Chain A
Amino acid sequence: MIKSKHSKWGDYLVVFLCVIMILVFFLPVWNVFVRSFSSPQALIRSDVYLWPVDIDFTAYTLVLTDTTYTWALLWTAMLTIGCTILSMTMTTLCAYPLIFEKLRGRKFINGFIMLTMYFNAGTIPNYLLFKSLGMINSPTVLIFPYCISVFNMIIMRTFLQNIPDSLRESAEIDGANPVRTLISIYLPLSTSVLATLSLFYAVGRWNGYSDALMFMPQNKTYYPIQLLLYNIIQSKESLDAATQEGFSTPGASDALKAAAVMFATIPILMIYPWLQRYFIAGVTLGAMKG
């Protein structure tokens, strides 16, 4: 293939823009990272940009020795793993039957499920529902209500639909029932979508805090780490509250805030590179056929 000069310059431009984009996304995170290692004095003098100044681990010591943080991290990790397993099970169990054309009322069920994707009842009706189910202020409210995402289910369904029927038929001829077919034929062929959707669910759960904020405000023991973080940042920045109350709350140091942010971000960042290839494959798949 012969490349034109134009395309070469085009490539440079694309690479250049990509580098800029990477810097735009990366530098703020990097800045928070180096701030978390810098001394309060250096932060106050606004000396910290790209490299830590007067390296100081006090903030991390504070974060790591505070059981509130470590427990929240552990709890969020357990929650993320548990919810991801549950969500994947539910998503598969919902998507799989919907690929059978002979399923009665398939169109209606599909439409019905789709409807919930477009129309959400809103916070207050949800609150009332969870209240009547006895879930308010209980950690179950973080697990069950959002354990299935319609969007993810559709990706899953589409993927399963694209697996040739002949494979299923051959299994049926061998006497496999639908459950056996799912386990032996479909799931082994769906590793990429399973990995992608797991990542979607895991990241969503890891980063989620609004459900805990709205539906579990009085159960601090089970606050996910992100809500804890939200409260730390809010409490220190709420000048509005200070104005209303006429007194200012002593603020956490900038280094502590940065350390808390890094503490909550690093674990999920660490699993990203391992799952990245599935992630890209899965997203493209959803985009093409969804």
Chain B
Amino acid sequence: MIALSDYLILSAIVFCIGLAGIFINRTNIIMLLMCVELILAAVNTNFIAFSYYGNDVAGQIFVFFILTVAAAEVAIGLAILTLMYRNRGSIDVDVTNSLKG
């Protein structure tokens, strides 16, 4: 029998893998975006698990909206990436420190 805690721990593990991915792949913006997608996927799993075990469909509605927003966010993020590449010629984050204080 699979308990709720199993699903939750699973999504926690994937969430933390995504976090570690952000730490590891900090130079590659595309990898960063993909790790964020991974984190979102873990969170969605969490919601669905609660929705199932709590007999409340509202969790799935929430996941619906998270998917929507995530899609929009990826679109805009990639547009910004494209612009950055167009203006600088590379996507190396080490040279994009013009926000430096």
A associates with B: no
B residues at A contact (CB < 8 Å): none
A residues at B contact (CB < 8 Å): none
